[in-house]
């Protein structure tokens, strides 16, 4: 396994719609293993392929932070098929190091996806799971959480990004 380099906003791959995954082969398995390792190393709960400069529609997530094996899931070609309710909460992103901002999301989502063998599955989740699924599916579509903020919060976030970039921690 290998740690992959996480790219930071405004890298263009983060703003590009990912290509659907068509080959469910050994290379895909290896990529997913490396993505899990990279996500756990960075203490994230989700990581999408565009964040490691691979412009494809897939992501890994584990909202338990490695505590519960059943929450360790790779979602390939995700499609949100149902949403309901609302939640507002702080959100962060490994491609925006040090930035946390309130974002409104749906409270519940049902996502249809393919697993590593190409089999279709559905995941019905609420709260943090729903937030993570929506955030990571957005990454697959070239959308970052900055795009989901209100105008005011987005302007605040942009100013904070500029400050963080000056510290040299954000390249
Ligand atoms: Ni993110």
User: Tell me, what CATH number does 25's domain have?
Assistant: 3.90.45.10
> Residue 88 is part of which domain span?
12-166
| Cis peptide bond N-terminal to 10, omega within 30 | yes
Q: How far is the CA of 47 from the centre of ligand 1 (A)?
A: 7
Q: Which of 89, 6, 13, 86 is nearest to 44 (CA)?
A: 6
- With pLDDT > 90 as the criterion, what percentage of the chain qualifies? 94
Asked if the structure places residue 61 within a domain, the reply is yes
Asked if the structure places residue 6 within a domain, the reply is no
Q: How far is the CA of 92 from the centre of ligand 1 (A)?
A: 7
**How many CB atoms are closer than 10 A to CB 170?**
17
Instruction: Give the pLDDT mean for 8-27.
Output: 97
The single residue of 26, 119, 122, 136 carrying the catalytic annotation is 136
Q: How far is the CA of 80 from the centre of ligand 1 (A)?
A: 17
CA distances 64 to 36, 69, 132, 153, 163, Å, are 13, 8, 12, 28, 31
61-82 pLDDT per residue, tens:
999 999 999 999 999 999 999 9
Q: Say whether pLDDT at 168 is over 90.
A: no
Asked if the structure places residue 2 within a domain, the reply is no
Q: Tokens 């070239």 belong to which residue?
A: 142
Neighbours of ion ligand 1 (CB under 5 A): 93
Number of domains into which the chain is organized: 1
Q: How far is the CA of 70 from the centre of ligand 1 (A)?
A: 21
Q: Within 13 Å, how many C-alpha atoms sit on residue 4's CB side?
A: 25
Instruction: Give the pLDDT mean for 141-157.
Output: 95
Q: How far is the CA of 118 from the centre of ligand 1 (A)?
A: 24
* SS3 assignment, position 10: coil
Q: Say whether pLDDT at 171 is over 80.
A: no
Q: Within 13 Å, how many C-alpha atoms sit on residue 56's CB side?
A: 18
Catalytic status, residue 136: yes
Q: What is the CA radius of gyration of the chain?
A: 15
Asked if the structure places residue 3 within a domain, the reply is no
32-54 pLDDT per residue, tens:
999 999 999 999 999 999 999 99
In this prediction, residue 169 has a pLDDT band, given cuts at 50, 70 and 90, of: confident
């Amino acid at each position: 396994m290998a740690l992959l380099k996480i790219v930071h906003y405004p890298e263009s791959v983060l703003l590009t719609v990912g290509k659907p995954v068509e080959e469910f082969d050994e290379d895909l398995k290896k990529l997913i293993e490396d993505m899990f390792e990279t996500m756990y190393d960075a203490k994230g709960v989700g990581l999408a392929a565009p964040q490691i400069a691979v412009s494809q529609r897939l992501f890994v997530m584990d909202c338990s932070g490695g505590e519960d094996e059943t929450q360790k899931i790779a979602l390939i070609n995700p499609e949100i098929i149902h949403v309901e309710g609302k939640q507002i909460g702080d959100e962060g992103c490994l491609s925006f190091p040090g930035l946390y901002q309130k974002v409104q999301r749906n409270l519940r989502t049902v996502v249809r996806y393919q697993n590593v063998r190409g089999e279709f599955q559905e995941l019905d989740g609420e709260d943090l799971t729903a937030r993570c699924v929506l955030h990571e599916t957005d990454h697959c579509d070239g959308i970052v959480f900055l795009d989901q903020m209100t105008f005011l919060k987005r302007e605040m976030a942009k100013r904070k990004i500029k400050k963080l970039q000056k510290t040299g921690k954000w390249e």
